[in-house]
Structure formats: C-alpha cells, structure tokens
C-alpha cells in the first residue's frame, strides 16, 4: 500500500524545514521524496499535512525500560517479578512510541530482561520503537548502579565484563565513569573507573564493533571517559572548558538528559517523597546539566537527545519534552530537532532512521505548525497529529497484539 504525505512543511532531520515537498511511503519504507507537483493525480492514500510539519520520528538516546519513574527504584525492583517487569517495560516502550519517539537506546536494564522487549519490538512481533540495549551497565565495586550492574575492578576484569555483555547480546556497552544521584553512598562528582580501566573497556567494545556510552557526571570522570575514546558522555553535569575542548576535538557526543531532573528540581513536594540520600544530592546538581549543555553547545559540540526516562518522575511517553528543555537551556529549536533525529541516529548507528531520505524506514511524526519556529510543536504531544512506525499509523494499530 502506498501513502502520500503532502501539503505541509517538511523537516528532513538535517536542514531547515521547506515547503512544497512530499513523501511517498510504500511497504514501510520511504519510497520517494520529491516536489508536490510530481504526485499530481496520485490515486493512493493521502495524508494531508497542511498547516503542519512532517518530520522523522524522534529518537531518545537514554532510557531505562525496566524503571517506571518510581520515587524509589530500588524498592520497586525488589517487589517485582521478571514477568511483570517485561510486560511493564513493553508497555513503557509502546507509550514512548505513542509519544512520538520511534527509536530508543536502553542504557542499562535488569538481568537482560529488556532484551526480550527489544527483540519483540525490533522483529515487528509487537509494535514499538526500534530499541538498542546495553545489557548490564559496568561499574566498580560500590559504584553507581552496583545493585543491578556488572561489578568489575581492574582493567582485565572490565574487559571480561565487556565481553560478557557482548556475549549476552548487547548492542552497545555502557560504563560508569562516576558516582550518581540514585545510588546511596556515592558522590556524583567522584571519578570511579580509572583512565586505564575505562580505556580498556572502551577499546574492547570497539574491537568488537560496539558503540560505547559512559555515565559521567563529575569532571574527572568525563575526562577519563573522553580520553578513553567513549562515543557519548551521558549527563555531563560538572563539565568544564577542558572537558568541552577534549570532547569537541574527539567528536564525542553529549547526551544531556535534562528531563531527568526537571520535575524534581522544580517541585518540592516530589522531592519530599524521594529517599533521603537522593534529596541530599539535589541542590548540588540543580541546574548543572543545563549549564553544561550550553557550554558544550556554544563550543560547537555534538548533541544527541536523551531523557533518562524511567528514573524518578521522568516518565516514558513524555520523552519529547527534552526538546523543550534543551531550547530553554540555549539550544536553537532547529539544532534541538537535529539532536533528536539525525544526530541521535548517528550516535546509535541507525543507518536507515533519523532522516527523511529515500530507502529509509518510514518512521515519521506529523506535528502542528513549524517546530523550528516553536519547539513546543514537537515537544508537546498535544501538538502531535500522527506517529508512524514502519509505515503504520500508531493510533490506528492496537499496540499490544
């Protein structure tokens, strides 16, 4: 079946939106991108995008499908059985798709349960976003995420941990370069893995053609991961000019995850129900992610959209709000859109997603107005007209089949 999207503006994922260009979809693939006039007399299904913009589906480079935004993730995990977590994770993935996000990167799950969600979505057995998954995040003894991660100390053990993730079926490898907010007894500003350890892990992942990401909040950890050759820094809260200079020189991506702390930092009532050890860290991190993003962006650094959906009060399905927070931090609307489409696809090595090009997957989002003028058109789901995954209009298809 052929479907023609015609009448409105077109944002291709890389350039400013244009008028007078239509997209023909056939068998889940973009078959043709051409001037409207080429399709005069077209007899197939027509989607009129007049007054709106056709764009690639958004891509979230940092989610956790095994978490659901609970105030205390540790308590939630202890009370849930594996079957429930898989079904809940699938529902979260589908809520994310319905929110305009057609691809995601899961940055650390539980006992590889998220692999089952990935596989049913990627195979088409269930309608969901394209998923790339890390498996177990790798951390030092007592490090951030140690309750569910793969603990490793010393370069040889880190290499072994990386090999285990690859053997288990990971799409990329995530290493924890610093402490974090949601683990008791650790400081987000402290470096965890040494330069030798993290470099060994990154090198081993790259040797087997796997991309790498590093949770890195403190300055020294950001530098260790960057110097080790990591593909993306996640969070980057305590970034300095030195961090920026080295990341830009190496082409390292920043995934800022502004959404992760947005509701907490702006709602004292929510802060009050967080575990005490989390509350103790809130003031130290407030505003740091936005300031670091602005510093990095102004220097010409490469940014990809990511939310940390699943951490406390950061909900799956609201992912597109990250675009709004990026613009509030000083990123232009057009560059925020690029960060959420073609840049994100580049980071995730999604060669056929993230841009409207012939031969690419028909993963599309139709929004009101022009999001390059008003980012809320893409960031707020109430302004979304239609989400399309592999040529299927999501709101016309029952999600869990």
* Residues 238-244: contacts with CB under 8 Å, at least 24 apart: 238/188, 238/189, 238/288, 238/292, 239/292, 239/295, 239/296, 241/295, 243/219, 244/295, 244/296, 244/299, 244/301
Arithmetic mean of pLDDT over the chain: 95
pLDDT tier, 396 (very low <50, low <70, confident <90, very high otherwise) = low
What pLDDT score does 1 carry? 83
Q: How long, in residues, is the chain?
A: 401
Higher pLDDT, 295 or 286: 295
Range scoring the smallest mean pLDDT among 1-5, 165-169, 280-284: 280-284
Domain ranges of the chain: 2-56+354-396, 58-348
Range scoring the smallest mean pLDDT among 152-166, 352-366, 382-396: 382-396
Q: Quote the Cα angle for 244-247-253, to 5°.
A: 110
Q: Is 309 strand, coil or helix?
A: strand
CA distance 296 to 339: 13
Q: What is the mean pLDDT of residues 103-121?
A: 97
What pLDDT score does 267 carry? 76
pLDDT tier, 400 (very low <50, low <70, confident <90, very high otherwise) = very low
Has residue 71 got a pLDDT over 90? Answer: no
CA 204 to chain centre: 23
Q: Which two tokens stand for residue 381?
A: 């789901």
Closest residue by Cα to residue 291 from 245, 246, 235, 341: 235
pLDDT, tens digit, 9 for 90 and up, residues 373-382? 999 999 999 9
pLDDT tier, 399 (very low <50, low <70, confident <90, very high otherwise) = very low
Task: For strands 52-56 and 9-10, give the pairing.
Answer: parallel
CA distance 288 to 257: 11
Cβ–Cβ < 8 Å for 142, 152: no
What pLDDT score does 154 carry? 98
Higher pLDDT, 91 or 271: 91
What pLDDT score does 286 carry? 83
For 58-348, the fitting CATH number among 3.30.420.40, 2.40.160.20, 3.40.50.1000, 3.20.20.140 is: 3.20.20.140
Q: Whole-prediction pTM value?
A: 0.96
Share of the chain above pLDDT 90, in %: 87
pLDDT tier, 273 (very low <50, low <70, confident <90, very high otherwise) = confident
What pLDDT score does 258 carry? 97
Report whether CATH 2.30.30.180 matches the domain 2-56+354-396. no
């Amino acid at each position: 079946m052929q479907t023609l999207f015609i009448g409105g503006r077109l944002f291709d994922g890389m350039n400013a939106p244009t008028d007078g260009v239509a997209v023909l979809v056939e068998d889940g693939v973009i078959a043709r991108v051409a001037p409207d006039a080429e399709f005069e007399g077209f007899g197939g299904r027509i989607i009129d995008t007049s007054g709106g913009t056709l764009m690639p589906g958004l891509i979230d480079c940092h989610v956790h499908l095994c978490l659901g935004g609970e105030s205390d993730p540790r308590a939630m995990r202890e009370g849930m059985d594996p079957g429930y977590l898989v079904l809940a994770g699938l529902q979260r993935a589908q809520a994310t798709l319905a929110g305009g996000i057609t691809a995601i990167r899961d940055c650390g799950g539980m006992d590889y349960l998220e692999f089952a969600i990935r596989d049913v979505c990627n195979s088409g057995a269930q309608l969901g976003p394209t998923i790339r998954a890390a498996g177990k995040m790798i951390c030092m003894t007592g490090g951030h995420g140690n309750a569910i991660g793969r603990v490793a100390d010393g370069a040889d053990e880190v290499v072994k941990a990386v090999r285990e993730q690859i053997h288990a079926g990971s799409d990329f490898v995530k290493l924890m370069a610093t402490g974090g907010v949601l683990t008791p007894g650790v400081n987000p500003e402290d470096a965890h893995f040494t330069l030798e350890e993290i470099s060994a892990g990154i090198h081993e992942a790259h040797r087997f053609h796997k991309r790498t990401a590093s949770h890195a909040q403190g300055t020294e950890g950001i530098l260790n991961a960057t110097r080790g050759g990591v593909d993306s820094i996640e969070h980057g809260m305590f970034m300095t000019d030195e961090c920026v200079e080295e990341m830009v020189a190496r082409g390292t991506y920043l995934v800022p995850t502004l959404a992760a702390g947005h509701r907490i930092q702006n709602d004292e009532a929510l802060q009050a129900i967080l575990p005490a050890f989390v509350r103790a860290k809130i003031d130290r991190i407030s505003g740091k992610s936005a300031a670091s993003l602005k510093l990095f962006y102004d220097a010409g650094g490469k940014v990809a959209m990511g939310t940390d959906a699943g951490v406390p009060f950061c909900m799956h399905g609201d992912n597109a709000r990250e675009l709004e927070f990026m613009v509030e931090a000083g990123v232009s609307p057009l560059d925020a859109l690029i960060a959420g489409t073609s840049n994100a696809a580049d980071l995730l090595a999604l060669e056929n997603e993230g841009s409207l090009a012939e031969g690419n997957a028909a993963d599309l989002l139709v929004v009101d107005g022009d999001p390059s003028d008003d980012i809320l058109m893409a960031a707020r789901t109430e302004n979304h007209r239609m989400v399309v995954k592999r040529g299927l209009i999501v709101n016309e298809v029952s999600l869990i089949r």
